[in-house]
Amino acid sequence: MSTSTPPQKTLSRIAANRLQKELSEWQINPPAGFKHRVTDNLQRWIIEVNGAPGTLYSCEQYQLQVDFPENYPMEAPQVIFIQQPPCHPHIYSNGHICLDILYDSWSPAMTVSSICISILSMLSSATQKARPPDNDRYVRNCRNGRSPKETRWWFHDDKV
Partner 1 sequence: MATRSGRSRKSTEDIVETIKGASNRRMARSSSNRAVLSAGNSPRTRSAGQQVVAAIVIEDDDDDVQASSPRAFAQARSSGRRRPPTASGVQIPEVSLGLRLGPADSFSPAMRAHRNRAGGPIVATPPIRRPLTIDLTSPSAANDDCVIVRESKAPQVVKRKIAPAVLVEGGEQAGQASKELKLTCPICLDEMKEETSTICGHVFCRGCIQGAIAAQRKCPTCRKRLTSRSTHRIYLTAKLGS
By CB under 8 A, tell whether 33 contacts partner 1.
Answer: no
Integer Cα distance of 67 and 89 in angstroms: 23
| Catalytic residue from among 59, 87, 98, 116 | 98
What are the backbone angles phi and psi of residue 117, rounded to the nearest 5°? -65, -40
**Rounded CA gap, 18 and 32, in Å?**
21
Q: Catalytic residue at 87? A: no
Q: What minimum distance in Å lies between the beta carbon of 118 and partner 1? A: 15
**Which x/- pattern over 9-28 shows residues binding partner 1 (rule: CB under 8 A)?**
-----x--xx--xx--x---
| Window 41-100: residues binding partner 1 (CB under 8 A) | 71, 73-75
What's 11's DSSP letter? P
C-alpha 32 chain-centroid distance: 16
**CA atoms within 13 Å, Cβ hemisphere of 116:** 25
Q: Which is nearer to partner 1, 94 or 111 (CB)?
A: 111
Where along the sequence are the contacts to partner 1 (CB under 8 A)? 14, 17-18, 21-22, 25, 71, 73-75, 105-109, 111
Catalytic residues: 98
